[in-house]
Amino acid sequence: MQGIITEPKYILDELIASRENGNVIGIWAESLGTGLFVCAVENILDDDFEHDKVIILKENDQNGVPLRAHVLFLQEIEKVFPFKTLWDPVPADEKALRYH
């Protein structure tokens, strides 16, 4: 798949690919904030109580900035954009400044 993906089944496929292949993925989710967040998937779990997948992201985005949330339900993710770039976070001493 290429381009922006909005179908939940295909979103899950791309999240699994990010976890298995170590590539970054752009995610739009209100719980992360406004816009596209370039991050990577740490793990994917089943939540039998909510009947949904729990997506655990790396705690920081690709630029080293902490994400507002790094544990999401699949249903919270509006769309994704898969990248071929491998996850390579910015070292701690080179992190971007966060503006409030």
Q: What is the pLDDT of residues 13-66, one digit of tens each?
A: 999 999 999 999 999 999 999 999 999 999 999 987 878 899 999 999 998 899
Domains of the chain and any CATH numbers: 8-87 (2.30.30)
Q: What is the pLDDT of residues 51-72, one digit of tens each?
A: 889 999 999 999 889 999 999 9
Residue 7 CA neighbour count, 13 Å, CB half: 6
Q: Which of 75, 54, 60 is nearest to 9 (CA)?
A: 75
Kindly report the pTM of this predicted structure: 0.84
